[in-house]
Structure 1
Amino acid sequence: MGDDRKYDVVVLGASGYTGQYVLEEVARIAETKRPGLTYALAGRNKDKLLRVVEIARNNTSLKLPDPAIIVADVNNEESLVAMAKQARVVISCVGPYRYYGDRVVASCIKGRASQVDISGEPQYLERVQLEQHEAAEQRGVYVVGSCGFDSIPADFGTCFLQQVFPGDLNSVEAVVGMDDSSVGNAPINVTTLECAVLGITHSKELKAVRKQLFASHLPKPSHKPQPRGKVWYSKEAKRWCVPNMASDRSVVLRSQRLNYKLRQIRPTQFNAYFGMQSIWTALAACFLGLVLFIMTSFAFTRRLLLKYPEVFTMGAFARGGSSRSSLSQLRFLVTLIGYGWDHKLTDPDEQHQTPPTVTKTVKISGPDPGYCGTAILVTQAALTILDEADCMPGRGGVFPPGAAFLDTTLRQRLADHGISFTEA
């Protein structure tokens, strides 16, 4: 990945809903913080990309000189490789990744460009690690998935909690929700729902992938996390909690495995929950989860769900996503509660004989998680690869963010852009 490439960053899928925010974040950095940063937009329709630039000018105070446009079609490998050969890092915003992600990753590896994405699809993420890690390592490029709200706050936050915990960390509970300062609600774009539906529909595929990916076993912990019901109250997070079936747990556990293998860091157990301010909202979320699970079980109801998302998700998802004014009033809050001991054992394979006695909490907060926050997260992940590849593991490969960026300045970079990691 040479420095003589035309562009530091290429945003692929910039004409999509999230891609619009990513473009604006990259342009903002290039215009206000890193004048030397070179970037381009990529997609299959040049006219749409030009419209995205005009929208960005109208939505921001940026001058936004005409950026370079690369025509690249996810169904045309030759065009993707040609795009990758011009970039040092590609930010891929083309979901569902189950359909398009593998082609983009393979083309980036072939073109020797590193790649980050915002996928929250465990099957895709784990399959790419299984199938593409060796090729990426040989070509000297990094492929880091789930670099948006799914799942840097949970994954990198767990690593942060391990670093600041007074002793060994046994288990972590992640409570994902909105900050108390948030006002109103904002529906999520339907593409995110489509990704979730595909994940649930094809969840059985994970067993075969994991059997190959996780051939070696982690040390067996002596103390399991405290069992939780379908709805329970966290006094640390001050939220009613329900199970979070998104990608956070998959991503965190992959980082834990890799950090144990590569750095001999004791792995921790991890469970994820959504946090609600009232028990009634939590119960409604459980009901919605049940509806989604049932509807994804049959082809006919899946089609109905994706055709009328506003109806079947009670407004949680919608075509076109949310207005900017709605998003500007939202802030996310991820609370990570760690349970462990006040001292460390020298050997990461050795197990504590007494039950955990220490609790510590860290919080990660930032702007609207789905779009503004995700744009900041994935952009800073890309810039970290650009600047600090020598601080990343090995000489390339496929990694989750907690394993990829553990020894970099990513946490400080995010803090400088409004996403904070703090000890409670």
Structure 2
Amino acid sequence: MRDHDIVVYGATGFVGALVAEYLAGHSPDGVRIALAGRSGERLASLRQRLGVDWPVIVADASDADALAAMAGSARVVVTTVGPYAKYGRALAHACAAAGTDYADLTGEVLFVRQSIDENHELARSTGARIVHSCGFDSIPSDLGVHVLHQRVAADGAGELTDTTLVVTSLRGGFSGGTIDSMRHQLDVVRRDRDLKRIAASPYSLSPDRAAEPDVGRQEDHVSLRGAEVDPTLRGNLAPFVMASYNTRIVRRTNALRQYAYGRRFRYREVMSVGTSPLSPLIAAGTKAGLAALVVGLSLPPTRFVLDRILPKPGEGPSEQARREGHFTIDLYTRTTTGARYTARFRAKGDPGYAATALMLGEAALALAADRDSLPPSEGGVLTPATAMGDALVDRLRTAGVEITARNLSDPAGKN
């Protein structure tokens, strides 16, 4: 019997406090939660502000013994402490060794690749589910394709082929932690060409690159017309900043499921820039802007300027801004039978803060409280879909997130 069902690590950080607040308001009776971080004083202050009597655990990210003790005391550890390549490696390993389920918010390709190499077989031996990317990175992408595939399979409509995620609308921003993770990864790949090649590979998170089917080139950042994705789409589509990470999580899911989505499954992510006459220019400008941001963060003079403008770790928008944020994501696919399907993942709240806190909070509860409903697994470094699947989909729907899928080829328009 472990002392805690869920430990929230990094609870006094901006996003960590939002996750703790979410759990304080939405956890079922009897779920035993603890707050963890570097400062006992700040943790006690947060506990008082939340009005809970949860235990406090003091553990520094550099203290392997403290992290091991914390992991051994919990059934599930969720962490918001990044950049994960810098601060998350020891904790993920401690959880894998202790047989403790783990969930984080990382969007760092190299960290997850390292975690797979270090922890996958260990976690399989202990039964731990090590689940990366349980926020806006990459639950909408991973679960969106999951429900799309389920609907196609239920209809007997074949397998998925070309599949595109479209960010239809979005209001909100990216956290300072996300920007800091980007900085850290750029620093690493600049110094190491081998790591740069890993980060650039579309299958960098796949369990066996040699086993991946040859589906041709898969580009991360593309600009195209909506009609190239589906005849019902109008306007133009620009690259989505998180595509280079989310796509790799979705491809890992397909591989871990023995290519259940299909051997011809191709996946990409874009965002809508509208239907105005200027939208082609906006799409091209967005693609150029993303490239410029990467270059700017890689060069000391421009990075100095950007660091003064971009949000810093621990910073975030006001409560009103978080509440007024939202996002709508639509996915489109063609199947091997020629049918067209779409799925939608829509939530209220700023994607990088309020919605992410909800998603990580519900992921923690799914791992801790829904053991009998989780997909069969021997453990390992998993994805949200392979670790939690329908259990998390059901929880998110109950929490107010719209997750649907339907057949676009159905002339009656039935869901």
Fold match, TM over 0.5? yes
Instruction: Please give the secondary structure, in 2, of the residue aligned with 1:273.
Output: strand
Aligned to 2:386: 403
Aligned to 2:412: none
1:397 alignment partner AA: G
- Partners of 2:7 and 2:100 in 1: CA distance: 10
1:338 pairs with 2:329:
no
Deviations 1:132-153 (A, max 9, x none): 1011111221100001111011
Alignment counterpart, residue 320 of structure 1, candidates 312, 315, 319: 315
Aligned to 1:167: 158
Aligned to 1:178: 169
Aligned to 1:19: 16
1:191 pairs with 2:185:
no
Maintained 8 Å contact 1:25/1:379: yes
Alignment counterpart, residue 329 of structure 1, candidates 324, 333, 338: 324
**Residue range with higher mean Cα deviation, 375-384 or 116-125:** 375-384
Maintained 8 Å contact 1:130/1:212: no
- Partners of 1:320 and 1:125 in 2: CA distance: 24
1:380 pairs with 2:362:
yes
Deviation at 1:297, TM superposition (A): 2.6
Instruction: Please give the secondary structure, in 1, of the residue aligned with 2:96.
Output: helix
Aligned to 1:46: 40
Maintained 8 Å contact 1:20/1:52: yes
- Partners of 1:232 and 1:269 in 2: CA distance: 18
- Partners of 2:327 and 2:103 in 1: CA distance: 22
Maintained 8 Å contact 1:339/1:359: yes
Deviation at 1:101, TM superposition (A): 1.4
Instruction: Please give the secondary structure, in 2, of the residue aligned with 1:220.
Output: coil
Alpha-carbon spacing, 1:107–1:319, altered in 2? closer, same or farther (3 Å): closer
1:230 pairs with 2:216:
no
Aligned to 2:211: 217
Alpha-carbon spacing, 1:202–1:230, altered in 2? closer, same or farther (3 Å): farther
1:19 alignment partner AA: G
Aligned to 1:313: none
Maintained 8 Å contact 2:239/2:283: no
Aligned to 1:256: 254
**Residue range with higher mean Cα deviation, 374-383 or 385-394:** 385-394
Instruction: Please give the secondary structure, in 2, of the residue aligned with 1:395.
Output: coil
Deviation at 1:197, TM superposition (A): 2.8
1:323 alignment partner AA: S
Instruction: Please give the secondary structure, in 2, of the residue aligned with 1:67.
Output: coil
1:381 alignment partner AA: A
Deviation at 1:226, TM superposition (A): 11
Alpha-carbon spacing, 1:207–1:393, altered in 2? closer, same or farther (3 Å): farther
- Partners of 2:14 and 2:167 in 1: CA distance: 23
- Partners of 2:368 and 2:196 in 1: CA distance: 32
1:358 pairs with 2:349:
no
Deviation at 1:367, TM superposition (A): 1.8
Aligned to 1:88: 75
**Residue range with higher mean Cα deviation, 105-114 or 234-243:** 234-243
Aligned to 1:182: none
Q: Can you give the 5+ residue segments of structure 2 that lack an aligned partner in the other structure? A: 407-415
Alpha-carbon spacing, 1:237–1:135, altered in 2? closer, same or farther (3 Å): farther
Instruction: Please give the secondary structure, in 2, of the residue aligned with 1:384.
Output: helix
- Partners of 2:220 and 2:133 in 1: CA distance: 27
Deviations 1:230-266 (A, max 9, x none): 35336656563212242111111111111126xx552
Maintained 8 Å contact 1:236/1:361: no
Instruction: Please give the secondary structure, in 2, of the residue aligned with 1:294.
Output: helix
Matched positions, count: 382
Aligned to 2:262: 266
1:358 alignment partner AA: A
- Partners of 1:358 and 1:227 in 2: CA distance: 25
Instruction: Please give the secondary structure, in 2, of the residue aligned with 1:188.
Output: coil
- Partners of 2:348 and 2:75 in 1: CA distance: 28
Maintained 8 Å contact 2:166/2:269: yes
- Partners of 1:325 and 1:26 in 2: CA distance: 20
**Residue range with higher mean Cα deviation, 389-398 or 224-233:** 224-233
Identical-pair percentage: 26
Deviation at 1:118, TM superposition (A): 0.9
**Residue range with higher mean Cα deviation, 393-402 or 153-162:** 393-402
Alpha-carbon spacing, 1:136–1:81, altered in 2? closer, same or farther (3 Å): same
Alignment counterpart, residue 136 of structure 1, candidates 118, 123, 126: 123
Deviation at 1:12, TM superposition (A): 0.2
Maintained 8 Å contact 2:172/2:352: no
